[in-house]
Structure 1
Amino acid sequence: MDQIEHEVKGDTMEGIIRGRVWRFGDNVDTDMIIPGRYLRTFSLDELASHVMEGARPEFASQVRKGDIIVAGRNFGCGSSREQAPVALKHAGVVAIIAESFARIFYRNAINIGLPVIMAKVEADDGDEVSVDLRSGQIRNLTAGSEYRMKPFNEYMLSILEDGGLVNHYLKTINTGISGDEG
Structure 2
Amino acid sequence: MPTVHVFARDHINTDEIIPARHLTTDVESELARYAMEDYDKDFVRRVQPGDIIVAGADFGCGSSREHAVWALRGAGVSAVIAPNFARIYYRNSINNGFLALECDGIVEAFQDGDPADLNLRGGTITNTRTGQSLTFVPVPQFALDVQKAGGWLEYMKAHDQAALEAETLNAQSTEAGHGHPGQEEQHA
TM-score of the aligned structures, taking structure 2 as reference length: 0.81
Report 1:4-153 matches (<5 A).
19-25=2-8, 26-120=10-104, 121=106, 122-153=109-140
Q: Which structure is larger by alpha-carbon Rg, 1 or 2?
A: 2
Q: Percent identity?
A: 40
Q: Secondary structure at the match of 2:81?
A: strand
| Amino acid in structure 2 at the alignment position of 1:22 | H
Residues 100 and 177 of structure 1, relative CA distance in 2, 3 Å threshold: same
| Amino acid in structure 1 at the alignment position of 2:5 | W
| Conserved? CA contact 1:155–1:180, under 8 Å | no
Q: CA RMSD in A?
A: 1.8
Instruction: Mark the runs of 5 or more structure 1 residues left unpaired by the alignment.
Output: 2-18
Relative to its length, the structure with more helix (as a share) is 2
Residues 168 and 129 of structure 1, relative CA distance in 2, 3 Å threshold: same
TM-score of the aligned structures, taking structure 1 as reference length: 0.83
Q: How far off its partner does 1:77 sit?
A: 0.7
**Residues 114-171 of structure 1: CA distance to partner in whole angstroms, max 9, x if unpaired?**
1110002111111111222222122111110011112222222211111111111111
Q: Secondary structure at the match of 1:97?
A: strand
Q: How far off its partner does 1:177 sit?
A: 4.4
Residues 132 and 41 of structure 1, relative CA distance in 2, 3 Å threshold: same
Name the CA distance, whole Å, in 2 between partners of 1:146 and 1:162: 29
In structure 2, the residue matched to 1:12 is none
| Conserved? CA contact 2:26–2:67, under 8 Å | no
